[in-house]
């Protein structure tokens, strides 16, 4: 039997990147998937890929995940069609797109946007889904980042603060809701080849060259999708609760060195 046969899964931010591959992965393993994003063309393509992977009855919800109405739609449309929710993957995230301001030059409005997207929306959507997850004895997997780990992140401080907050949310939700039978865990990716850097106006080829990843390559969306599936499968990871699973080819182990000066160390 497929790993997720009959499971009802919501993946936010699945029009592109990691989320799209995760939705495809779940569908290929027998799940009934709700996909979500903002870009209509990307959503159409994601729907096609999920369908080709074997996904039937794909639900598509479009809109900004920070909006209450979009969050309600995700829950209500999924329940209306399938009558339950087994797995919630809080994957939508990122920064202010094509933002001309960098680091601490970013405004308070930029901070609010980044916190709203990566932290507040995860809390509010998880709370909306929670009664249904308690009923199904389900799973939440948050998609965080190594940016939120215990290092300074002066180039993307607000994003790192949001992801660090998300990690604490994962721990606290995890220890609280396991008592009602719901597991909450997190995948923390390192650099992954998606549309995220393009949305920042950054040349991802250049960034990849400078990335210093011990494993020797940048991550693929499938590397992260497999880790999300592992945490969403209680048979595979039954004793992981409030856990942060770092999936980064070892790069966070090099971060202290990198933050000092990559050029200086490249010469050694």
Is 145 a residue that touches ligand NDP (CB under 6 A)?
Answer: yes
Q: Which two tokens stand for residue 10?
A: 């919501």
Catalytically active residues, by annotation: 159
Residue where the block lists tokens 């591959």: 21
State the nearest-atom distance from the C-beta of 18 to ligand NDP, in Å: 4
DSSP 3-state of 29: coil
d(CA 193, CA 100): 22
* Residue selected from 51, 73, 199, 234 as contacting ligand NDP according to rule CB under 6 A: 199
* Residue selected from 9, 50, 93, 148 as contacting ligand NDP according to rule CB under 6 A: 93
Burial 199-232 (b: 16+ CB within 10 A, else e): bbeeebeeeeeebebeeeebbebebbbebbbbbb
State the nearest-atom distance from the C-beta of 135 to ligand NDP, in Å: 26
Q: Which two tokens stand for residue 235?
A: 């048979």
Residues 6+ apart with CB under 8 A from 172: 242
* Residue selected from 196, 225, 228, 232 as contacting ligand NDP according to rule CB under 6 A: 196
* Residue selected from 11, 19, 129, 158 as contacting ligand NDP according to rule CB under 6 A: 19
Site string for ligand NDP, 29-68 (x = CB under 6 A): --------xxx--x---------------------xxx--
- Interface with ligand NDP (CB under 6 A): 13-19, 37-39, 42, 64-66, 91-94, 117, 143, 145, 189, 191-192, 194-196, 199
């Amino acid at each position: 039997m497929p790993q997720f046969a009959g499971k009802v899964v919501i993946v936010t931010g699945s029009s592109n990147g990691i989320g799209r591959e995760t939705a495809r992965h779940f569908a290929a393993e027998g799940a009934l998937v709700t996909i979500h994003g903002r870009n209509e063309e990307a959503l159409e393509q994601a729907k096609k890929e999920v369908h080709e992977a074997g996904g039937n009855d794909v639900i598509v919800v479009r809109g900004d995940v920070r909006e209450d109405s979009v969050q309600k739609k995700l829950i209500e449309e999924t329940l209306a069609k399938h009558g339950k929710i087994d797995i919630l993957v809080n994957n939508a995230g990122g920064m202010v797109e094509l933002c001309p301001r960098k680091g601490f030059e970013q405004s308070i409005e930029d901070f609010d946007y980044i916190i709203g997207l990566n932290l507040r929306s995860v809390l509010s959507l998880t709370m909306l889904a929670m009664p249904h997850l308690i009923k199904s004895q389900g799973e939440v997997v948050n998609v965080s980042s190594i940016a939120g780990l215990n290092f300074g992140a002066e180039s993307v401080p607000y994003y790192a603060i949001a992801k660090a907050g998300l990690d604490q949310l994962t721990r606290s939700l995890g220890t609280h809701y396991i008592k009602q039978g719901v597991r909450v865990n997190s995948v923390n990716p390192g650099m992954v080849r998606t549309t995220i850097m393009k949305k920042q106006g950054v040349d991802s080829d250049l960034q990849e060259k400078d990335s210093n990843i011990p494993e020797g390559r940048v991550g693929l969306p499938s590397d992260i999708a497999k880790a999300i599936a592992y945490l969403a499968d209680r048979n595979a990871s039954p004793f992981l609760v409030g856990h942060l699973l770092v999936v980064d080819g070892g790069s966070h182990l090099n971060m202290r060195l990198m933050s000092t000066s990559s050029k200086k160390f490249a010469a050694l």
